[in-house]
């Protein structure tokens, strides 16, 4: 099965020879290495680049383990570049596995890291540098300072539904049902047997993600880490915070953990790209709430596997898919809150917080989006769309629905858009 990642390939091509280190980030097994070592490499070869002018170092493999030392890595690349007449390309896979070492020229404890090596490589005029990594704090959050503004990040996500559907083909309704259950991890999409697919997704958490976090972060209480992960998976799209999770772990599982401990474990899960936080934004007050927040899993298939395929709420899963799609398209996504005065059943005026699923921003553009699996009657439609009427502005408003086909606008100018149109046609919300 050929899985195309055309949008990511285009991003790499547009960044060639821009004088920066190209940093390809994302969750492990999301296709970063395939994008670089297969798709992009094939593009270079078809464009006339010689295989001898591409050096690939896979630091997660034993045969390349010596280059986890940044000094040895630097020496190897300098030797490879010595006497090179034309342009060359350097691919380093899983760069975060390159550790830090003492600088032998400075006995005061100064360290040499892979940032130092990459900055040296970047300065070589006839070398274009590409690295992949699965650690956001080591890469995304530090590259601006450590690379002194000379890096360019390409964030890779699991397959979008459009990429998944292009790969598997068939009926889009059946494909979406499979996608809602098994998600878009690239290798999972190639597995024909459902039981094997489920086993693969379950093993990713235990054998790859959790093990990696526990070892790399030296987690002292892995049982709290595991239960925090389970809580986030089972409450996808629901408001929560570290304090609520700590209380739940004590009440349900008898596990006592400080709020700060749980908060640090959530950070680790975000750092590994397993979850993304959506902050709550006061639409009228133009400020963010400190808590609670929502957390969305990077892939709904991973989320479902972790819960043992329980908690199969279609509404929350579709909401998670929409969030991931928006992030993958480059939007900044928050949860919207509109505070309004309303009368309760006793006729008293009360302050009520109404929620808009997503406040979406990109390059000065703002959209309000509600996710609605079904709006079967007028009461449900009124309830779902009421927050739109309270924003007090004229930004575009869209409700994405599973229970409809052709797109249409209601009398208030709200675009009703089917989930397939939304996922398969990016221009539908442009």
Name, in order, each residue with C-beta under 8 angstroms of 126's C-beta and a sequence gap of 6 or more.
81, 84, 86, 87, 88
Task: Supply the pLDDT for residue 106.
Answer: 84
- Give residues with Cβ within 8 angstroms of 231, minimum separation 6: 240, 245, 248, 249
What's the first-to-final CA gap in the chain, in angstroms?
Answer: 31
* Count of residues in the chain: 430
Residue in 111, 110, 76 with CA at minimum distance from that of residue 92: 76
Per-residue HEC secondary structure of 51-79 comes to HHHEEEEECCCHHHHHHHCHHHHHHHHHH
Contact 185, 301 (CB under 8 A): yes
What would you report as the CA-atom Rg of the chain, rounded to the nearest whole angstrom?
24
Instruction: Say which CATH number the domain at 96 has.
Output: 3.40.50.300
Question: Closest Cα to residue 228, out of 212, 218, 216, 240?
Answer: 240
The DSSP element (H or E) to which 414 belongs, if any, is: none
Query: What's the total number of domains in the chain?
Result: 1
* Domain-located, residue 322: no
pLDDT of residue 352: 86
Does this model's pTM top 0.85? My answer is yes
Q: What is the pLDDT of residue 306?
A: 95
Dihedral angle of Cα 176, 178, 179, 183, to the nearest 10 degrees? 170
CB 349 within 8 A of CB 335: no
Residue 337 · residue 214 · CB < 8 Å = no
User: Is position 270 within any domain?
Assistant: no
For 112, the domain range is: 6-155
User: What are the φ and ψ backbone dihedral angles of 119, each rounded to 5 degrees?
Assistant: -65, -35
What per-residue confidence (pLDDT) applies to 349? 84
Nearest to 278 by CA among 236, 339, 224, 219: 236
In a 3-state reduction of DSSP, which class is residue 181? helix
The residue ranges of the chain whose pLDDT is under 70 are: 136-151
Report the alpha-carbon distance of residue 23 to residue 25 in Å, rounded: 6
- Provide the 3-class DSSP secondary structure of residue 367: strand
Compute CA 400 distance to the chain's CA centroid, rounded to the nearest angstrom.
21
Is 346 within a domain? no
* 204-221: pLDDT as tens digits: 988 999 998 998 889 999
- Report if residue 150 sits inside a domain: yes
In a domain, 407, yes or no: no
- Residue 373 inside a domain? The answer is no
Is the distance from CB of 241 to CB of 291 less than 8 angstroms?
yes
Do 293 and 278 meet the contact criterion of CB atoms below 8 Å apart?
A: yes
Domain for residue 168, yes or no?
no
Mean pLDDT score of the chain:
92
Residue 100 placed within a domain: yes
């Amino acid at each position: 099965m050929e899985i195309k990642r055309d949008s990511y390939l285009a991003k790499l091509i547009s960044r060639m020879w821009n004088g920066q280190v190209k940093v390809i980030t994302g969750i492990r097994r999301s296709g970063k290495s395939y994008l670089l070592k297969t798709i992009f490499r094939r593009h270079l070869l078809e464009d006339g680049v010689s295989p001898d002018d591409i050096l690939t170092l896979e630091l997660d493999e034993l045969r390349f383990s010596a280059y986890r030392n940044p000094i040895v890595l630097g020496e190897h690349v300098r030797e490879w570049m010595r006497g090179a007449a034309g342009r060359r390309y350097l691919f380093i896979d899983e760069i975060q596995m390159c550790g830090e070492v003492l600088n032998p020229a400075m006995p005061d404890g100064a360290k040499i890291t892979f940032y130092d090596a990459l900055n040296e490589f970047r300065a070589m005029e006839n070398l274009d540098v590409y690295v992949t990594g699965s650690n956001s704090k080591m890469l995304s959050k530090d590259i601006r300072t450590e690379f002194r503004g000379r890096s360019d990040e390409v964030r890779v996500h699991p397959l979008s539904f459009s990429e998944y559907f292009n790969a598997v083909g068939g009926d889009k309704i059946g494909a979406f049902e499979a996608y809602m259950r098994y998600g878009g991890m690239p290798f999972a999409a190639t597995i024909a047997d459902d039981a094997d697919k489920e086993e693969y997704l379950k093993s990713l958490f235990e054998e790859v993600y959790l093990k990696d976090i526990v070892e790399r972060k030296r987690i002292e209480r892995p049982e709290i880490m595991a239960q925090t992960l389970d809580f986030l998976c089972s409450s996808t799209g629901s408001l929560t915070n570290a304090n609520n999770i700590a209380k739940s772990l004590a009440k349900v599982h008898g596990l006592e953990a400080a709020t700060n401990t749980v908060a640090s474990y959530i950070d680790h899960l975000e750092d590994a790209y397993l979850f993304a936080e959506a902050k709550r934004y006061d639409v009228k007050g133009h400020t963010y709430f400190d808590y609670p927040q929502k957390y969305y899993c990077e892939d709904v298939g991973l989320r479902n596997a972790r819960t043992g395929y329980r908690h199969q709420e279609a509404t929350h899963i579709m909401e998670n898919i929409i969030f991931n799609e928006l992030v993958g398209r480059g939007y900044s996504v928050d949860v919207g809150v509109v505070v309004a005065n309303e009368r309760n059943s006793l006729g008293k005026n009360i302050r009520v917080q109404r929620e808009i699923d997503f406040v979406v921003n990109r390059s000065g553009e703002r959209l309000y989006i509600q996710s609605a699996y079904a709006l079967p009657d007028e009461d449900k439609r009124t309830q779902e769309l009421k927050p739109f009427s309270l924003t007090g502005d004229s930004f575009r408003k869209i409700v994405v629905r599973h229970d409809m086909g052709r797109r249409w606008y209601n009398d208030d100018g709200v675009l009703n858009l089917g989930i397939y149109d939304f996922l398969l046609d990016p221009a539908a919300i442009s």
